[in-house]
Amino acid sequence: MNDITLDQAWQVIDAANEAATTQGTAMNIAVVDVGGNLKAFLRMDGAWLGSIDISIKKAWTARAFDLPTAELAKNSQSGGQFFGIHASNQGRVMIFAGGIPLKKGDAVVGAVGVSGGMGEQDQAVAEAGAAAFR
């Protein structure tokens, strides 16, 4: 089974950390493995305590559904096909932007989750982290 290595997880976190630093936002950055288990985590100095759990759950959600959390959010609004999904899985599902699956070819092998800013900021930092995955 393909899985993200610890070195790869830290590459993702390093790139996300750099992006967050560049935009001037203190972030919590989590990477989960193929099973949705926490592989690596970084809390930048000054990052919100309440965002620790959110970043981990964003990463887990992106892996659990193999979708970016921003995409899941679009379809979970009232009347959407995934309305109410955030209440599933013991409330573990996060429908905020900032969670992105990490792929080797077509296979999802993990995910990154970022929290600490506005949704667009979280998404941009998660995208920078995901872009560094190799």
DSSP output for 46-64: T--THHHHHHHHHHHHHHH
User: Which pLDDT band holds residue 84 (cuts at 50, 70, 90)?
Assistant: low
Q: Could you give the number of structural domains in the chain?
A: 1
Evaluate whether residue 49 is within a structural domain: yes
**CATH number, domain with residue 49:** 3.30.450.150
> Does residue 124 form part of some domain?
yes
* pLDDT > 90 fraction of the chain, expressed in percent and rounded: 77
Residue 14 lies in a domain: yes
Between 38 and 106, the higher pLDDT residue: 38
Instruction: Answer whether residue 85 is part of any domain.
Output: yes
Per-residue pLDDT band at 39 (split at 50, 70, 90): very high
Residue 69 is predicted with a pLDDT of 94
DSSP 36: S
User: Is 115 a member of any domain?
Assistant: yes
Domain range enclosing 13: 6-131
Does 81 map to a domain? yes
Query: Is 1 a member of any domain?
Result: no
Residue 1: pLDDT band (50, 70, 90) is low
User: How confident is the model over 116-127, as pLDDT tens digits?
Assistant: 999 999 999 999
Q: What number is the average pLDDT over the span 9-32? A: 98
Closest CA to 118 of 12, 17, 44, 26: 26
How far, in whole angstroms, is CA 35 from its chain's centroid?
Answer: 14
Higher pLDDT, 123 or 80: 123
